[in-house]
Amino acid sequence: MITVKCFARYRVLLGFSALELPAPANLGALLADPRFQDLPKDALVAVNQSFVDRTAPLADGDEVALMPPVSGG
């Protein structure tokens, strides 16, 4: 199982703050799940607290974090 955590406005957009799922082969396969269809393409994604691209592999026990991009100064 992997844990998916949503932060900031993504909690409301996706309808959950944390979700446990069977581990797919990679992050792209996870994000293809219909539960993530409303996730913007510019979402920041981290696996085990490291930012990754959508080809990153996933394994049992991983934690995926979904965060909106930030800006400001």
| In-domain check, residue 73 | no
Report pLDDT for 52: 95
Report pLDDT for 40: 93
The number of distinct structural domains making up the chain is 1
CA distance 20 to 40: 21
Report pLDDT for 16: 95
| In-domain check, residue 24 | yes
End-to-end CA distance of the chain: 38
Residue ranges making up the domain that contains 27: 2-67
| Average pLDDT score over residue span 7-28 | 93
| In-domain check, residue 50 | yes
CATH number at 57 reads 3.10.20.30
User: pLDDT tens across 23-72, in order?
Assistant: 889 999 999 999 999 999 899 999 999 999 989 999 999 999 999 988 76
Report which of 55, 58, 47, 57 is spatially closest to residue 67, judged by C-alpha positions: 47
| In-domain check, residue 72 | no
